[in-house]
Structure 1
């Protein structure tokens, strides 16, 4: 039930702040931007929910122990789900690189930097969640940052391959 209210709030935010502005431009812009909004909402849902509210009685001083600052540590340690996590992180960010390239029409460096910053915000939020609430299921992982950024690059590469078709459809 709690997620229902979260999604309703996101739907209200969409209609109050974005729908009318995007719809005034064109239906194609509305569709692309709405896809990006829905995509970002789903990524935040998967990576941050439930996000804990800071506790009044203090913080978890051991939160840095949940963080991983060694790239591909799980893979090197033969952690059973490491390859799966790497693949999922790459796949999760492909739509970002693809859709952001359509919306902003910027070069590879800006797309990679935007993907990196989006991923960094998620990772820092997970670190803060562990600090505030002590949630062990959410933690900062440098591997996630690397693989997410690579996923954005893959999405941008797909955009480049499909760019003539995309521009043709958008001009109609």
Structure 2
């Protein structure tokens, strides 16, 4: 039920704020922006949903114990699933690194910085969620920041390789 409520809120946000604005622009702009919005919603569903209602379940005073500030600790300690998680984090951010420079027409530094900030926001929200008594499986992990940012860089490199073709398609009437 919590997922359904979160989904309805995100759909309402799309139609009340973004669709009206983007629909006034060329259809290709509407499509690429909607694609980015849908992608971000999917990332939020994988990483944050359902969002807990702050302080409803009380607070978790041990939430800082879930923080990992040692890069690639899980990999070095041979934790089960560490390699899989690294690859999934990289893959998860490739679309962001690919789509963001198309929408904003920015370079590599700005794209990678925004990917890092997006990832930092997710990780910080996971930490707050743990504090608010949300899902115990969510935690702040510096490895996620590194691998997400790298994924955004890979996405940007795909974009830069295909840039002439992308802008040719987008600029055709």
TM-score range relative to shorter protein: over 0.9
Q: Which residue of 1 aligns with 2:30?
A: 30
Relative to the length of structure 1, the TM-score reads 0.96
Q: Is residue 171 of structure 1 aligned with residue 171 of structure 2?
A: yes
Write the mapping of 1:34-73 to structure 2, written as runs, cut at 5 A: 34-55=34-55, 58-73=58-73
Unaligned runs of 5+ in 1: none
Q: Which residue of 1 aligns with 2:81?
A: 81
Q: Which residue of 1 aligns with 2:105?
A: 105
- Structure 1 residue 57: deviation in Å? 7.0
Residue deviations 1:89-121 (CA, integer Å, cap 9, x gap): 000000000000100111111001000000000
Q: Which residue of 2 aligns with 1:5?
A: 5
Unaligned runs of 5+ in 2: none
Q: Is residue 128 of structure 1 aligned with residue 128 of structure 2?
A: yes
Relative to the length of structure 2, the TM-score reads 0.95
Contact 1:98 1:152 survives alignment (8 Å) = yes
Q: Which residue of 1 aligns with 2:17?
A: 17
Residue deviations 1:23-58 (CA, integer Å, cap 9, x gap): 111100000000000000010011001221222574
Classify the secondary structure of the residue corresponding to 1:150.
helix
Classify the secondary structure of the residue corresponding to 2:102.
helix
Contact 2:57 2:133 survives alignment (8 Å) = no
Q: Give 4+ residue runs of structure 1 displaced > 4 Å after superposition.
A: none
Separation in 1, partners of 2:138, 2:113: 23
Q: Which residue of 1 aligns with 2:94?
A: 94
Contact 2:96 2:152 survives alignment (8 Å) = yes
Residue deviations 1:103-161 (CA, integer Å, cap 9, x gap): 01111110010000000000000001111105320000000000000000000000001
